[in-house]
């Protein structure tokens, strides 16, 4: 088996398809973002997301197949995979139903993938020589986890958020400050013109264990801006971002120390954040640890990471039965809190 996998990702607001060989070689990766569709509403509108996935899935898959040099009828693939959760139910159903239909038509196995596990493979795809075990800081719009990854499918959750995800905090604070959706890139842009030490926002749970908490930080921003209506928005954005970066970097380094990891990685949408990347690199260099920072396109949702995860899932567990559905509330394997 050559291990040529077509992966689909439709869990939220990106319609994506990719062809990946042997879990590591990206032959094509197509992402159609719906950001413009949802920006007007300040967040993802589930019904609109599902409809947009329906409109886009056929051309996106066709482009991914063509990009990999494959024909659209009976391409020589070995597996079709899709994200089964976590995510929006209507959005997930589009990718999963389409993947199952293709698997049936092309007589191929189908594998369902946990979106969060998918994010872990992004670093491996771009840096196959990554030194394992690695602590992966998985920070997205819906989840924030510290995971020790010893190899494909061998992970241990070391810490996780007890309330909001890091990306959720970026999105909520951005909304409060009147910035555009999605909030992370908007805060990063606004912060570039501000002073990160202007306001001493709390660093939640900085010295306590490996779990994370961001809801109190978000509330602290709201209280501060209410009490200081004339404060510079750029200073608030920069100071808030600095607090998140400090916490994530400190926790990542502590997690690496206690777990004996040889490197640290970033994954998930928040991993696209420039100051976070720079600070983690500095801290890892100082500690003599390897550091792997996926390209911004590999940090945010894409289907290459889903295809890579599916390759390993098939080898370990075999195909997913076609009567298995979607799982909007799927947790990361081994998660204690959700």
- List Cα–Cα distances, 165 to 108, 145, 148, 309, in angstroms: 36, 9, 18, 23
Query: Is residue 270 at the binding interface for ligand KG4, with CB under 6 A as the rule?
Result: yes
Residue 85 contact partner, candidates ligand KG4, Zn ion, none, CB within 5 to 8 A by sort of partner: none
Among 10, 15, 239, 273, binds ligand KG4 (CB under 6 A): 273
Q: 15: which residues sit within 8 A by CB, 6+ positions away?
A: 9, 31, 32, 34, 52, 53, 56, 57, 60, 95
Q: CA 148, CA 257: separation in Å to the nearest integer? A: 11
- Binding of ligand KG4 at residue 268 (CB under 6 A)? yes
Q: Which is nearer to ligand KG4, 108 or 244 (CB)?
A: 244
Name the residue nearer to ligand KG4 (CB basis): 148 or 172.
172
Q: Is 183 in the site for ligand KG4 (CB under 6 A)?
A: yes
As given in the structure block, the two tokens for residue 248 are 């994530």
Given the rule CB under 5 A, which of 52-60, 139-147, 150-158, 285-293 is the region that contacts Zn ion? 139-147
Q: Which two tokens stand for residue 11?
A: 């869990």
How is residue 94 written in tokens? 């589009």
Beta carbon of residue 74, minimum distance to ligand KG4 (angstroms, whole number): 32
Residue 182 binds ligand KG4, judged by CB under 6 A = yes
Report yes or no: 239 and 195 within 8 Å, Cβ to Cβ.
yes
Measured distance CA(224)–CA(203) in Å, rounded = 15
- With CB under 6 A as the contact rule, the residue among 3, 167, 290, 294 that binds ligand KG4 is 167
Residue with tokens 């398809």: 17
Compute the least distance from the CB of residue 191 to ligand KG4, in Å: 9
140 binds Zn ion (CB under 5 A): yes
* Rg of the chain in Å (alpha carbons): 20
Nearer of residues 145 and 158 to ligand KG4, judged by Cβ: 145
Stretch of residues binding ligand KG4 (CB under 6 A), selected from 56-64, 154-162, 249-257, 264-272: 264-272
Q: Does residue 301 bind Zn ion (CB under 5 A)?
A: yes
Question: Can you tell me which residue has the tokens 């997205």?
Answer: 140
How far apart are alpha carbons 122 and 292 in whole angstroms? 10
Q: Give the nearest distance from C-beta 179 to ligand KG4 in angstroms.
A: 10
Of these, 29, 83, 123, 300, which contacts ligand KG4 (CB under 6 A)?
A: 300
Site string for Zn ion, 87-126 (x = CB under 5 A): ----------------------------------------
Helix 215-227 / helix 233-259 crossing angle, nearest 10 deg = 160
The C-alpha atoms of residue 179 and residue 236 are separated, in whole angstroms, by 12
Strands 290-292 and 263-267: parallel
Q: List the single partner that 272 binds among Zn ion, ligand KG4, none, CB under 5 to 8 Å by kind.
A: ligand KG4
Query: Which of these segments, 58-66, 77-85, 179-187, 256-264, binds ligand KG4 (CB under 6 A)?
Result: 179-187
Phi, psi torsion values for 13, nearest 5 degrees: -120, 20
Pick one of 95, 159, 185, 294: the residue that binds ligand KG4 (CB under 6 A). 185
What is the C-alpha to C-alpha distance for residues 136 and 290, in angstroms, rounded to an integer? 12
Binding site for Zn ion (CB under 5 A): 140, 301
Binding residues (CB under 6 A) for ligand KG4: these are 12, 140-142, 167, 170-171, 182-185, 188, 268-270, 272-273, 300-301
């Amino acid at each position: 088996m050559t291990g040529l996998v077509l992966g689909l990702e439709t869990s939220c607001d990106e319609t994506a398809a990719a062809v990946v060989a042997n879990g590591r070689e990206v032959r094509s990766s197509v992402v159609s973002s719906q950001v413009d569709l949802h920006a007007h509403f300040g967040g993802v509108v589930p019904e609109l997301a599902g409809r947009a996935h329906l409109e886009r899935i056929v051309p996106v898959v066709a482009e991914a197949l063509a990009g990999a040099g494959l024909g659209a009828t009976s391409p020589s693939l070995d597996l079709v995979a899709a994200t089964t959760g976590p995510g929006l139910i209507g959005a997930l159903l589009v990718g999963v139903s389409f993947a199952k239909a293709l698997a049936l038509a092309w007589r191929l196995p189908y594998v369902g993938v946990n979106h969060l596990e998918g994010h872990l493979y992004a670093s491996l795809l771009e840096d196959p020589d990554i030194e394992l075990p690695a602590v992966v800081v998985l920070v997205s719009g819906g989840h924030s986890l510290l995971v020790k990854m010893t190899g494909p499918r061998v992970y241990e959750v070391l810490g996780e958020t007890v309330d909001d995800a890091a990306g959720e905090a970026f999105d909520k604070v951005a909304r409060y400050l009147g910035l555009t959706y999605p909030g992370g890139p908007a805060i990063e842009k606004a912060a570039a013109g501000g002073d990160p030490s202007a306001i001493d926002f709390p660093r939640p749970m900085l010295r306590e264990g490996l779990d994370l908490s961001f809801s109190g930080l978000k509330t602290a921003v709201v209280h501060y801006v209410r009490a200081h209506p004339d404060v510079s928005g750029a200073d608030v954005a920069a100071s808030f971002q600095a607090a998140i970066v400090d916490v994530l970097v400190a926790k990542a380094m502590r997690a690496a120390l206690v777990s004996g990891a040889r490197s640290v990685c970033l994954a998930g949408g928040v991993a696209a954040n420039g100051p976070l990347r720079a600070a983690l690199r500095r801290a890892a260099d100082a500690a003599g640890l390897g550091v792997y920072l996926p390209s911004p396109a590999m940090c945010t949702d894409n289907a290459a990471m889903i295809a890579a995860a599916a390759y390993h899932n098939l080898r370990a567990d075999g195909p997913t039965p076609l009567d298995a559905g979607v799982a909007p509330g799927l947790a990361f394997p081994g998660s204690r809190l959700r």
